[in-house]
Structure 1
């Protein structure tokens, strides 16, 4: 991967994490205030789910940064790469569950059924991304095994 590509991805990650911090500090308090007429349990659940979802995104960004650093150093094909990949899978699964929780909270309200379906679909799509990363993890394992076999031959 070229330095330019790695630099561009890192710039996007910085923007994403910074945007997450802005949302957590500026937007979430507004959401909290806007939900003052709903039950305290629903209000708290919505805010915790939103903050948790953003935290998952920030965690994924940190893990991708770590993997990009390993790519730059030429050490991504090692057992050390599994840890950040596993964290990304876990964060995606947690984000999927949080998205489904938010969709479930929309069911008894005035939200259009199509909107609820879209949010549930988003939860399913995020779970699908986690499964794709599981497949990519298996490919990484195979690449590491092939690399070590090749090193033994050479």
Structure 2
């Protein structure tokens, strides 16, 4: 990957993280206040605001892990055991996001929320779980790539001895 691509990706991640902080610390308190003025039940406010806040947090965790992996790519060290830590955290973040989305759908189902909205949130939960499975697949590919890289290094060492 070229340096330019890594820099552009890091700029996008930085902007996304900045925007997510605006959501967490700027918009969510405003939504809380508006829900309070509208007379929403306390449990409804807590469920919605905490679910959205934690959902944004899962995406922030994912973004930081991608940032760390990009740094490893730039250093030429992505095919190492260190990468597994970030990939495993990414998997956990997407699973947590899927559970949060499904929990929100369950919380909205008995209320006055439209059934279509509940269905859309369930669909989003399914998509997030699918992304987690995709990252599991990419983790497996990382395992294979590290094995191939290790074999190649071993063969180079043997070739150097022969030469």
Per the shorter chain, which TM-score range?
over 0.9
Aligned to 1:26: 26
Q: Tell me how far 1:106 sits from its aligned partner.
A: 1.8
Q: Tell me how far 1:107 sits from its aligned partner.
A: 1.0
Distance in 2 (alpha carbons) for counterparts of 1:81 and 1:145: 14
Q: Tell me how far 1:111 sits from its aligned partner.
A: 2.1
Distance in 2 (alpha carbons) for counterparts of 1:74 and 1:117: 43
Alignment of 1:29-68 (within 5 A): 29-36=29-36, 37-68=39-70
Aligned to 2:3: 3
1:113 maps to which of 94, 100, 115: 115
Distance in 1 (alpha carbons) for counterparts of 2:100 and 2:35: 18
TM-score w.r.t. length of structure 1: 0.96
Alignment coverage as a number of residue pairs = 154
Structure with max Cα Rg = 2
Structure 1 residue runs of 5 or longer lacking an equivalent are none
Aligned to 1:125: 127
Q: Pick which of 26-35 and 122-131 moved more.
A: 26-35
Give the 3-state SS of the residue equivalent to 1:76 in structure 2: coil
Q: Pick which of 42-51 and 8-17 moved more.
A: 42-51
Structure 2 residue runs of 5 or longer lacking an equivalent are 157-163
Distance in 1 (alpha carbons) for counterparts of 2:112 and 2:41: 15
The C-alpha deviation readout for 1:44-63, integer Å capped at 9, x for no partner, is 12111111111111111111
Aligned to 2:15: 15
Runs of 4+ in 1 over 6 A off after TM superposition: none
The C-alpha deviation readout for 1:96-131, integer Å capped at 9, x for no partner, is 111111112221222221111111000010010000
Distance in 2 (alpha carbons) for counterparts of 1:34 and 1:56: 25
Give the 3-state SS of the residue equivalent to 2:113 in structure 1: coil
Q: Tell me how far 1:41 sits from its aligned partner.
A: 2.0
**What is the aligned-residue RMSD (CA, Å)?**
1.0
